[in-house]
Chain A
Amino acid sequence: MSLTVWAISGGLFLSGALLLCLRRQLVAMAAGLELMLNAANVALVYGAGRHGDAEGLAIAFLVVAVAAAEVVVGLSLILALVRRDLPAEGEGLRELAG
């Protein structure tokens, strides 16, 4: 069972990393980040259950909350780009403006 869970976690993390690195749309890149966080959470919850470690579960809980905050900020930045008629793609963003 342990190998199954690590394979699931690794497969999800790899898919998320590929989505983040290979796609150019910012929304798809944000989706890749979410996949990677979910993969980490699967491993954390399994490890916590296996070793009877409640702190691992608590960290998984905090990861869900931080991921929610991160995606709110990321998607609001994407919507701000769209409002200003800038491309919502990774390749089009080459400089920061204050």
Chain B
Amino acid sequence: MAAAGAAAVAFALFALVQRSLYGTAICLLVVLLQVALLFLLMGAQLLGFLQVLVYAGAIMVLLVVASMSSPARLEELWARLALPRAWAWGGFAVLALELGLFLRWAPAGAPFLGVTRELEARMAGILFGPHAVLTELVGALILVAALAALPEESA
């Protein structure tokens, strides 16, 4: 867990000093995947998979498209580090190594830290029980946000 956290914080700091937006996006992708691994290590499997699907999947695609569409006209004077390709691959290699260790030594059915299957089941009971309206509102919010993203001509 400490290794995953240290890699996440290190790549978050790398994201700060990247010259290009694309380098920042790649660093952010490594951080988001490390956070997903942290969730798995804590036993929150559902949130870990959601993290990969929503953050590392959907949000990263949007960020990369936006960074490709907006050329960096202004360059930070202090952010002159270009992410070497080897470092980016190194980030993903560390992640793969951690995931392999997790799958090799994870006790079957038992979490490392606290979050149990029963707790996740209670979470589902809360989301779709007393707070079902709130959960549906959040779903509607995502739909409204997607509609707002449409350009005026095609709306």
Interface positions of A (Cβ within 8 A of B): 1, 4-5, 7-8, 11-12, 15-16, 18-19, 22-28, 30-31, 34-35, 38, 41-42, 45-46, 48-50, 52, 54-55, 57-58, 60-62, 64-73, 75-76, 78-83, 87-89, 91
B8 at the A/B interface (Cβ < 8 Å)?
yes
Which residues of chain A are near B135, meaning CB under 8 Å?
62
Interface positions of B (Cβ within 8 A of A): 1-2, 5-6, 8-9, 12-13, 15-16, 21, 24-25, 28, 31-32, 35, 38-39, 42-44, 46-47, 50-51, 54-55, 58-59, 62-63, 65-67, 69-70, 72-74, 76, 79, 111, 113-116, 119-120, 122-123, 125-127, 131, 134-135, 138-139, 141-142, 144-146, 148-149, 151
Which residues of chain B are near A24, meaning CB under 8 Å?
74, 76
New A-B pairs, 9, CB < 8 Å, besides A38-B35, A49-B113, A65-B54: A11-B9, A12-B35, A19-B24, A27-B67, A27-B70, A46-B113, A61-B47, A65-B142, A79-B69
**Given A4-B5, A49-B115, A65-B138, CB of A73 within 8 Å of CB of B148:** yes
Q: Are B72 and A25 in contact (CB under 8 A)?
A: yes
Which residues of chain A are near B127, meaning CB under 8 Å?
58, 61-62
**Cα A30 to Cα B58 with chains together (Å):** 14
- For A8, A55, A78, the residue with the greatest tally of chain B CB atoms inside 10 Å of its CB is A8
Shortest distance between the CB of B112 and any CB in chain A (Å): 9
Which residues of chain B are near A64, meaning CB under 8 Å?
47, 50-51, 54-55
Which B residue sits closest to A24, measured CB to CB? B74
Which residues of chain B are near A66, meaning CB under 8 Å?
138, 141
